[in-house]
């Protein structure tokens, strides 16, 4: 039998091929959601969906922000403390979870999802949000995305908040109610407005379509800028006698 073994000089190459084969069998190869490079996924974090180079450009913001509204502070390594605005006027949600700052690669991915029809990115981004450590503190009964006005939905073809909410709800094992909130009127896009008029633009812009009395709802959107949209949506649900609202977004825009 010994004469059928490969030569000793070939064992390192032969062994390397076996190791690669075993890795593919155990973890499988995956293509990066951003650059499409083939890589072996890690067990957690952005390394599950993005190659090492792209994953290193997607750091999760862990410190240096307001824990109530997510406002980002310049000192990103210091403890998170409430901002002056939230101390005066706390937001209507019980907690806010966001993955990272709306900049660099995370900003590009969200813009690709929202405006360039790269809907597949919602899977990875929604799962990153679901794996956020803060999600363990959310005791929601259901997940609901922020809605688009029907005209804007027809123009875009999909609601990016809903696409993010799908994998999030699935990973949290919570029911998803895509139409819990509806737009009662068309509003000017928030990106075109100054912060001082954004809340007025959204006044009474949402209606709750179902009975939410006694339920805790996890509201999902792609990005939080001033928080005006999320505030109005949360207040609509609380006015409908929801027991509580938590907010989740992939990114928080630096002011």
pLDDT digits (tens, 9 = 90+) for 84-108: 999 999 999 999 999 999 999 999 9
Confidence class of residue 42 from pLDDT cuts 50, 70 and 90?
confident
Q: Verify that 105 and 145 share a domain, yes or no.
A: yes
47 and 81 co-located in one domain = no
Residue 36 has pLDDT above 70, yes or no: yes
Instruction: Specify if 215 maps to a domain.
Output: yes
Q: What is the C-alpha to C-alpha distance for residues 6 and 27, in angstroms, rounded to an integer?
A: 27
Please report whether residue 248 resides in a domain: yes
The first and second tokens of residue 21, run together, are 């084969």
CA separation for the pair 204, 152 (Å, rounded): 18
Tell which phi-psi region holds residue 227, choosing left (phi > 0), alpha (psi between -120 and 50) or beta: left
Give the per-residue pLDDT at 75. 87
Residues 48 and 118 reside in one and the same domain:
no
Residues 138 and 221 in one domain: yes
Pairwise CA distance, residues 69 & 91, whole Å: 7
Q: Is residue 240 part of a domain?
A: yes
CA dihedral sign of residues 154, 206, 91, 189 = positive
Residue 209 and residue 106 share a domain = yes
Do 168 and 185 fall within a single domain?
A: yes
* Domain boundaries, position 198: 58-252
Three-class DSSP category at 79: coil
The count of domains in the chain is 2
Note the pLDDT tens digit of each residue in 238-252: 999 999 999 999 999
Which residues on adjacent β-strands are paired with residue 65? 72
> Do 134 and 20 fall within a single domain?
no
Inter-CA distances, 12 with 15, 18, 26, 59, 193, Å = 5, 10, 21, 37, 63
| pLDDT score, position 34 | 94
Give percent above pLDDT 90 in the chain.
73
Percent of the chain with pLDDT over 70: 82
pLDDT(6) > 80: no
The answer on 224 and 167 residing in a single domain is yes
Q: Same structural domain for residues 138 and 233?
A: yes
Tell whether the model's pLDDT for residue 155 goes beyond 60. yes
Are 168 and 196 members of one domain? yes
Does any domain span residue 2?
no
Size of the chain in residues: 255
Name the residue with higher pLDDT: 152 or 21.
Answer: 152
Among 18, 33, 57, where does a domain finish?
57
Residues 238, 255: Cα–Cα separation, whole Å: 27
Does residue 4 sit within a domain? no
CB of 246 within 8 A of CB of 221?
Answer: no
pLDDT tens across 99-139, in order?
Answer: 999 999 999 999 999 999 999 999 999 999 999 999 999 99
**Residue 226 main-chain phi, psi, to 5 deg:** -90, -20
Residue entry with tokens 């339920």: 215
Judge if 159 and 213 occupy the same domain. Answer: yes
Contact 82, 64 (CB under 8 A): no
pLDDT tens digits for 177-216?
A: 999 999 986 555 545 445 555 555 566 789 999 999 999 9
Q: How far apart are CA 155 and CA 76, in angstroms?
A: 38
| Pair 146, 192 in one domain | yes
């Amino acid at each position: 039998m010994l004469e059928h073994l490969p030569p000793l000089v070939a064992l390192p190459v032969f062994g390397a091929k076996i190791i690669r084969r075993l890795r593919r069998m155990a973890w499988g190869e995956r293509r990066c959601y951003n650059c499409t490079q083939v890589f072996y996924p890690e067990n957690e974090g952005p390394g599950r969906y993005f190659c090492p180079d792209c994953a290193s450009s997607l750091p999760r913001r862990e410190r240096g922000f307001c824990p109530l509204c997510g406002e980002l502070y310049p000192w990103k390594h210091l403890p998170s403390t409430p901002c002056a605005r939230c101390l005066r006027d706390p937001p209507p949600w019980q907690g806010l979870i966001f993955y990272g700052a709306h900049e660099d690669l995370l900003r590009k991915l969200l813009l690709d999802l929202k405006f360039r029809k790269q809907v597949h990115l919602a899977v990875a981004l929604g799962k990153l949000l679901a794996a956020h450590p803060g999600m363990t503190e959310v005791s929601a009964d259901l997940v609901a995305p922020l809605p688009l006005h029907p005209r804007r939905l027809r123009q875009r073809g999909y609601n990016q908040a809903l696409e993010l909410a799908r994998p999030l709800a699935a990973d949290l094992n919570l029911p998803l109610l895509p139409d819990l909130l509806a737009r009662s009127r068309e509003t000017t896009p928030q990106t075109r407005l100054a912060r001082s008029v954004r809340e007025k633009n959204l006044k009474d812009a949402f209606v709750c379509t179902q009975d939410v009395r006694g339920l805790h709802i996890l509201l999902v959107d792609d990005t939080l800028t001033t928080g005006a949209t999320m505030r109005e949506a949360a207040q609509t649900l609380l006015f409908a006698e929801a027991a509580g609202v938590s907010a989740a977004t992939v990114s928080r825009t630096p002011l």
